[in-house]
Structure 1
Amino acid sequence: MQQIYFFSEGRRDMRQLLGGKGANLAEMTRLGLPVPQGFTISTVACHEYEKNENQLPETLRQEITQAMQRLETLTDKKFNAVETPLLVSVRSGAAISMPGMMDTILNLGLNEQTVRGLARQTNNERFAWDCYRRLLQMFGNVVYGIPEQVFDSVLTDYKKQHQYQSDLDLTTADLQKIAADFKALYQETGHGEFPESPQKQLELAVAAVFKSWQNPRAQVYRRLHHIDNNIGTAVNVQTMVFGNSGANSGTGVAFTRDPVSGQRKIFGEFLANAQGEDVVSGVRTPEGLQGLAKMAPAAYQQFLTAANQLEQHYADMQDVEFTLEHGKLYLLQTRDGKRTPKAAVRIAVDQVKEGLIDRQTALLRVNPEQISDLLHPEFAPEVLAAQTPLTKGLPASPGAAAGKIYFTANRAKDAHDAGEKVILVRQDTSPEDIVGMAASEAIVTSRGGMTSHAAVVARGMGKCGVVGCENLVVDEKQHQVTIKGTVYPEGSELSVDGASGQLFPGILPATQASQDDNLQTLLNWAQETGEVGVAANADTPADFAQALKFGAQGIGLTRTEHMFFKEDRLMKMRRLIIAATATDRAEPLAELQKLQTEDFYQIYRLAQGKTVTIRLLDPPLHEFLPHDAAEITEVAEALAIPESKLQQRIAVLKEANPMLGHRGCRLAVTYPDIYEMQVTAIIDAALRIKQEGIPVKPHIMLPLIDTLPELQWLRARLVKKINALLAASNTPLHYQIGIMVEMPRACMVADQLAEAADFFSFGTNDLTQLTFGYSRDDIGSFLPTYLEQGILKADPFKSLDVDGVGAFMKMAVDKGRSQQRSLPIGVCGEIGGDPASINYFASIGIDYVSVSPFRVPGAILASAQAAVRRQYQFQKSAVQSR
């Protein structure tokens, strides 16, 4: 099989084989642009290298030798020749761009003989030795793993000793001495002599680039950007052109549009008398492209023409690397440019208006996960760059926040009420912390994963959240937290970056996200295109109002238990739980019913006829009770009962495994009056809204249903109650009673459950938890290792496990619709906001997803992308079938 392709043999659509860089070099060559000659060693060779125990197979070594002989003919230069030495660069290039993650070597082919030949050929001895010292440095680092700092320290010390301000001050003699020192480093670090044979240099460099595919930073990058570990990298071997060859030479990088704002203007940097690594590494400060315009006006105009041609050809903003050698322009690379979320949206919308792309393409250009970054306050990149983070956790909810740290909900609330900006720092959170969470600018925990209570609530509130900060040791008793050995007492100032999961000392300034007209345009297109509807998880009118602004089609999940955690309501709920008999429960139930009726009424008013799905009480009762001694005393006094009685009730309700215990519909079977109170509140609110002439669609959802008899028993009681209410008001009202599908058994008997359910809504958090047997609040102890070792491809609470959890969901969809063909089915877990998961949901026939308010726009875009991809796949299949 052919493993090497010259640039003249490839095309842009060969990315999987040639990598993105190689495919684009081939395409630029085909377009007639000034690209230095070279060839690409394909990703197939990378796989063969790995199969061959990280050794270059003999067949590949022979093919490389033949390719170099052909390159010698094309360039009229010779590898390992003194008179006309051929030097090459060796660069990585995966199918998906991974800037800076893998390795590059420049000036390969130099040795003690060819460096002198290069000096004579160019009549520039200093330039030749500058190239040689660069090769020694890059080769030692990339091939032998000698730390870059070791070489840098030699260079820095030498410049200090001679009082040089810049690398450009180094003379030929200086560079010769530095080259000798660099070669000595090979010996000192146990790597022997620098290989004088250019062929040996090339083989070692190719192997090093293949090996760099598995380096730690590349693995982390792929994990963060969901890039397949198995695609491998290609290697590009390209004739060197020299931006460091004199005063009329240089190198630069440019974007065809501003990558920060998205503005339609060329944006770039140029560095005179330099090689590309000088720009990337920051060893010298570049100037703008005006430096190129001044040095070589004709080359500058040629570059502008080429850059515009590339953007038009690729129909996307391009990131172009170039070199100027003695006034002659060469293009070394083009790729789709990395851009900020704001720029991504603007470029996509602008290019539609310019007629460069269509709306479907624009929708695919923006990452849905970036959308929420446009909605939250943020720290400017330059602000963060100037800071050193204290520690880092999981970025649970985006945004930027700063304030004083407090360690209990009550103290956080008190500080907030006193006018302070508050950061709530906890080991973990529970529903009773809601008061403090609501009062805080950000929520930080030392435990928990991306779907832990703190994470879910933070996203639901649109608050900045960082969870799983293992370096935090929270001491509530001492009112302090220890971070990497340093103690921070209550009231210390802290800044939290929810986008990165980093914590910073002090108060950093944040900027508010402003209304983005381009984003609204893109979302309007997305809503017209998407097939999976997007509703909101909203527990309060404020949550729902925010979600409606973002385009939510209704509410897919209102968690009624969240309505009970306000301070006055929590005491009423506790009074209900303490009650020993149904008679004793009547009064607190009546009080709670009045409050819930008003809550539902306000939500229905906002809905204006949109569907509102209300889940009846789900958590176990013990979550509402106090835990520590001081709070038990306080609650006992407020309830006017002996402490011993409260402690006895707490002991009775305690469960060994409450996630699998007395909660959800099981609670309703033993305490049916609680669910009857809730449906009374729902129906009373709906009737009131209907009397005002506003359409209303009550959807009542029962959690944790496992069996048909369980569902039938509950439904019969609730329907009886509802029908009595409707008869008493003499008002007809359409309502539905559905179930939250979150038990593996429920998926397996979904056809039975569909006999008595009006709709299904998957609770993916519990379904994932029970399918894997993972506690979502305790996975922090092993999940990072599972991800690092590749045991799991992704956090299953963040992105759907298609093979396991997804299979259960598809089973439930198929079985449910075999009983009811038009059965409405949604997803109301946070996975509903994950783009990859939405793509799968669309494929199995899910009608809608329901997500936190600030995830609504991203989900709308992801739904549209799923529809566009399905349309493209259908068109492709139709063409193939002809």
Structure 2
Amino acid sequence: MAAKYVYFFGNGDADGDESMRAELGGKGANLAQMAKAPLSLPVPPGFTITTDVCQEFYKLNRNYPEGLSAQVDEYLAKLEAAMGKKLGDENDPLLVSVRSGAAISMPGMMDTILNLGLNDKAVVGLAKKTNNERFAWDAYRRFIQMYGDVAMGVDHDKFEAIIDEVKAKAGVKEDTELTTENLKEIVEKYKAMYKAEKGEDFPQDAKKQMWGAIGAVFGSWMNPRAIKYRKLNNIKEGALKGTAVSVMAMVFGNKGETSGTGVCFSRDPSTGENVFMGEYLMNAQGEDVVAGIRTPQKLSQLEQTNKAIYDQLCEIRDRLEKHYHDMQDMEFTVEEGKLFMLQCRNGKRTGAAAVKMAVDMVAEGLITKEQALLRVEPEQLNQLLLPQLDKDAVKKAIEIASGLNASPGAGCGQIVFTADEAEAWAKDGKKVLLVRKETSPDDIAGMAVAQGILTSTGGRTSHAAVVARGMGTPCVCGCADVAFKDENTIVVKGKEYKKGDFLTIDGATGRVFEGQVAVKPAAISGDLETFLGWADEVRNASVRTTASGKTVKGFNVLANGDTPQNAKDAFRFGAMGIGLCRTEHMFFDEPKLTAFQKMIVSDTTEQRKENLAKILPYQQKDFYEIIKTMEGRPVTIRLLDPPLNEFIQAESDGAAAALATKLGMDKAALVAKVAALDEHNPMLGHRGCRLAITYPEIYEMQVEAIARATAQLDKEGVKHDVRIMIPNVVTYKEVEQIRAQAEAVIAAVNKDCGTSLAFQIGSMVEFPRTALSADKVASVADFFSFGSNDLTQTTFGFSRDDYGKFINSYLDQRVLEDDPFATLDADGPGALMEIAEAKGRGVKADLHLGICGEHGGDPASIALCYKIGLNYVSCSPFRVPLARLAGAQAVIKASK
């Protein structure tokens, strides 16, 4: 027996329903549900061909599975019986629409064809039957244009040129002003142009038309805009079977002034306000509203002109919201005073609207708090927290390039090419956009004052991306179209842009625009605090058992922060503490930088200690302010991580001379020292705890600064919870040795300050060996923090600074499903994290585990971290709200 490929809807006789969304698509499932009890809404009858056919269509090289034709004939006959009309009948033709609809709504991305079934004879019969000749010919010209464009690939503009020509000759501006004779002329010209383009007459067989339209809709599943939409919305190829096709009896909004069509929303999709809104046109078809051919009227006006229809729509709005428990996007047509519903779906909405609707619907008793938390996409919260480009301004803007959307928000400023220029221009009150091939820690000051950052190389975990996210600064990375001509000029696709020219970037999309595009400040919803409070409740109450059999309670969100301002932002956005305080960013202010550079070029331990002693009071002040800001919440401070050559660079002869003068040393000696520091692969070189093994005095100074800052706060009666973290560990002996050194320093500070401080000292897990030997590391570490950037890099063998050259090819060809530096890979780093969890807690059952890499702000990665059994995730301050919500969603989904 052949598989069932076709389902009927309409007249209360639907053999499908909303539970079959995967097979019928959102449109088909909702049409079936609206048609049957208890909703029983006025839906024109029709049938839906399932997404299974779309899947087979592509497997069979764009051919249909066996048995489909017979089923379509059966259900077409059923539709004809319901309507009392026949497809292609010369005297009273049945006309149908052929519409797309996937399980996940993709508005406007796939194709639709209306008025199908008309031909040269049927149009005459339709005119007689309806006693409305103008309507019949208007429907025919619409059908030829839509079918020719969508199904047969005839250029849409060629149809538009013809209609514009006839309108000009007739002296009219609007389509509605065209006479019947005008429309007949258009039809003849359309058919002649079609024949010239296709080498054959426009098809007159209605059945052939129907199959042509069905094929066009299935074909549109793989059109460029649908593919792009799925990519932008992270809908994986293979996650859906494809599109369904719904064949529905036409109802006509273009039968005169008693007919019309419109689109409406049960709540405002922009603000979330509980108001019925929409637009409609009289004497029009749906394409007129969507395409903007005519200026529609506000739905509220319909109450004045046709209160009966408006009241009926209001009643349907309420019934649909109560049934679907969500805001509905609806399409309707009024045919000679009778209302028909053509579609309903959960409506798209802004982040602010999503939060407001969720909170309001809980208050209204429509949904639970848990359902509300699942109703909002975590990434939508970014819209509430960061400035964004004005949508109307973007429509008029000139897009010149695109790169990786590394840090969300809108940034507009004058181009500068160095951090020094950024600082200098910003001091003069100018808004600047820092444009670099790549950034380094030396650029931190310039990055801090920039409105946005644009780099031609690097990925989402490059220095520019990581630092920008931490700052909440918009950033677009890896924009390969940006070429550097000289120190004052970049070239983008052949056009030059000079220092001082304005550019605008959209860090949420990766788009780059010429000139100044208006930016709107974010409007923070008053409902956001309530909403995220529910997320915190869910996470705090969570209990789960890990794969290793350990029970873990709660799931916290911390922030990565290196400055008091970061800490304040983290606190403001609801972080429970600082999960990663990078100390290296603290060395770039003077006089710390000079002292640190002198330490690097020192020849003896004594010289190094002398210069480190000059830095100590400044480090102490940095730590004091951050710890104080967090008011007793945990602050995890990572000891120095990057290689020393990042702090002392003298690539040119001039730079070497200037640095030598600054440090008071011979240039040749400096050049030799810099050469000695150079490494072929510094990310795997002399960095992190390896520096402490070689030069223990560096970490000893940092630990002393931490201890003295904490002792000072202790005496002031300020609460504190400070943890010290050792980076780049590959063996427990590193932790054992550095811990002993740190505890000796802490003991000395306690003696000197009269305190009794004790600190948790933990290890980062950034390399496969560390994870595989986690039981040994746990014996000498109080906690683990997974540095997922390096763990991904060393597990995959991908350089995170260079992988941008090939990752898009991997993703486009589905060699990898996700960018592993954006979403934590469960089979690689994730599997190693599970091993580390099991081995570590096998030694210490209460071992505290967290993640501080960039994945801590990615919803899918957060869900994996919850599953593995981590106690917390840590992310940039501006992603804390997202992480709070994503963590709660992980808890809710895991409990189902």
TM category, shorter = over 0.9
Q: Secondary structure at the match of 1:448?
A: coil
The equivalent of 2:4 in structure 1 is 2
CA 1:184–1:779 in structure 2 vs 1: closer, same or farther (change >3 Å)?
A: farther
Quick one: which of 493, 507, 519 aligns to 1:510? 519
Quick one: which of 314, 318, 321 aligns to 2:324? 314
Q: CA deviation at 1:716?
A: 2.6
The equivalent of 2:383 in structure 1 is 373
Q: CA deviation at 1:516?
A: 2.5
The equivalent of 2:277 in structure 1 is 267
Q: CA RMSD in A?
A: 1.6
Equivalent position amino acid for 1:259 in 2: P
Question: Counterparts of 1:700-849 in structure 2 under 5 Å?
Answer: 700-849=724-873
The equivalent of 1:13 in structure 2 is 19
Worse-matched range after superposition: 575-584 or 627-636: 627-636
CA 1:791–1:139 in structure 2 vs 1: closer, same or farther (change >3 Å)?
A: farther
Quick one: which of 211, 214, 222 aligns to 2:219? 211
Q: Is the 8 A contact 2:782 2:848 kept in 1?
A: yes
Q: Secondary structure at the match of 1:110?
A: coil
CA distance in 1, matches of 2:724, 2:640: 11
The equivalent of 1:545 in structure 2 is 568
Q: Is the 8 A contact 2:266 2:328 kept in 1?
A: yes
CA distance in 2, matches of 1:761, 1:861: 21
CA distance in 1, matches of 2:500, 2:434: 11
Q: Secondary structure at the match of 1:650?
A: helix
2:246 paired with 1:240: no
Equivalent position amino acid for 1:507 in 2: Q
Q: CA deviation at 1:194?
A: 2.7
Quick one: which of 82, 87, 90 aligns to 1:79? 87
Quick one: which of 590, 600, 610 aligns to 2:613? 590
Quick one: which of 556, 561, 578 aligns to 2:579? 556
2:267 paired with 1:257: yes
The equivalent of 2:458 in structure 1 is 448
Quick one: which of 467, 474, 485 aligns to 1:464? 474
Q: CA deviation at 1:470?
A: 1.8
The equivalent of 1:645 in structure 2 is 669
The equivalent of 1:879 in structure 2 is none
CA distance in 2, matches of 1:132, 1:806: 59
Equivalent position amino acid for 1:165 in 2: K
Q: CA deviation at 1:476?
A: 4.8
Q: Is the 8 A contact 2:390 2:517 kept in 1?
A: no
Question: Counterparts of 1:397-546 in structure 2 under 5 Å?
Answer: 397-477=407-487, 479-530=488-539, 531-546=554-569
The equivalent of 2:28 in structure 1 is 22
CA distance in 2, matches of 1:86, 1:566: 77
The equivalent of 1:385 in structure 2 is 395
2:684 paired with 1:682: no
TM-score, normalised via structure 2 length = 0.95
> What is the number of residues matched between the two proteins?
871
* Structure 1 residue ranges (4+ consecutive) displaced by more than 6 angstroms after TM superposition: none
Q: Secondary structure at the match of 1:556?
A: strand
Worse-matched range after superposition: 391-400 or 589-598: 391-400
Unaligned stretches of 5+ in structure 2?
Answer: 540-553
Equivalent position amino acid for 2:102 in 1: A
CA distance in 1, matches of 2:518, 2:650: 37
TM-score, normalised via structure 1 length = 0.96
Q: Is the 8 A contact 1:373 1:499 kept in 2?
A: no
Q: Is the 8 A contact 1:697 1:734 kept in 2?
A: no
2:182 paired with 1:180: no
Q: Is the 8 A contact 1:61 1:203 kept in 2?
A: no
Equivalent position amino acid for 1:303 in 2: L
Quick one: which of 87, 92, 99 aligns to 1:91? 99
Please list the CA deviations of residues 702-761 of structure 1 after superposition, one character each: whole Å capped at 9, or x if unmatched. 111112223323223223333333344442223111111111222222222211111111
CA 1:856–1:275 in structure 2 vs 1: closer, same or farther (change >3 Å)?
A: same
CA distance in 1, matches of 2:326, 2:682: 52
Please list the CA deviations of residues 80-133 of structure 1 after superposition, one character each: whole Å capped at 9, or x if unmatched. 111221111111111111101111111111122212211111112221122122
Q: CA deviation at 1:613?
A: 0.4
Q: Percent identity?
A: 50
Please list the CA deviations of residues 120-178 of structure 1 after superposition, one character each: whole Å capped at 9, or x if unmatched. 11112221122122222222222222332232233233323433201112222322232
Q: Is the 8 A contact 2:650 2:659 kept in 1?
A: no
Q: Is the 8 A contact 1:813 1:845 kept in 2?
A: yes
Q: CA deviation at 1:769?
A: 1.4
The equivalent of 1:578 in structure 2 is 601
Q: Is the 8 A contact 2:637 2:725 kept in 1?
A: yes
Unaligned stretches of 5+ in structure 1?
Answer: 874-882
Equivalent position amino acid for 1:266 in 2: F
The equivalent of 2:73 in structure 1 is 65
Quick one: which of 87, 104, 108 aligns to 1:100? 108
CA distance in 2, matches of 1:400, 1:171: 49
CA distance in 2, matches of 1:105, 1:423: 46
CA distance in 2, matches of 1:673, 1:57: 74
Please list the CA deviations of residues 649-679 of structure 1 after superposition, one character each: whole Å capped at 9, or x if unmatched. 1111111111111111112211111111111
Question: Counterparts of 1:282-301 in structure 2 under 5 Å?
Answer: 282-301=292-311
CA distance in 2, matches of 1:620, 1:322: 64
The equivalent of 2:638 in structure 1 is 615
The equivalent of 1:862 in structure 2 is 886
Q: Is the 8 A contact 1:557 1:850 kept in 2?
A: yes
Worse-matched range after superposition: 132-141 or 266-275: 132-141
Q: CA deviation at 1:22?
A: 0.9
Please list the CA deviations of residues 195-214 of structure 1 after superposition, one character each: whole Å capped at 9, or x if unmatched. 22221221222222122112
Q: CA deviation at 1:191?
A: 5.8
CA 1:764–1:491 in structure 2 vs 1: closer, same or farther (change >3 Å)?
A: same
Please list the CA deviations of residues 472-500 of structure 1 after superposition, one character each: whole Å capped at 9, or x if unmatched. 113452x1122222212111122233233
Quick one: which of 117, 121, 126 aligns to 2:125? 117
Q: CA deviation at 1:854?
A: 0.4
Worse-matched range after superposition: 559-568 or 388-397: 388-397
Quick one: which of 871, 874, 886 aligns to 1:850? 874
Q: Is the 8 A contact 1:761 1:825 kept in 2?
A: yes
Q: Secondary structure at the match of 1:189?
A: helix
Please list the CA deviations of residues 391-449 of structure 1 after superposition, one character each: whole Å capped at 9, or x if unmatched. 22222222223221110111111111122111111111111111111121111111121
Q: Is the 8 A contact 2:352 2:524 kept in 1?
A: no
The equivalent of 1:880 in structure 2 is none
CA 1:161–1:814 in structure 2 vs 1: closer, same or farther (change >3 Å)?
A: farther
CA distance in 2, matches of 1:180, 1:472: 50
The equivalent of 2:546 in structure 1 is none
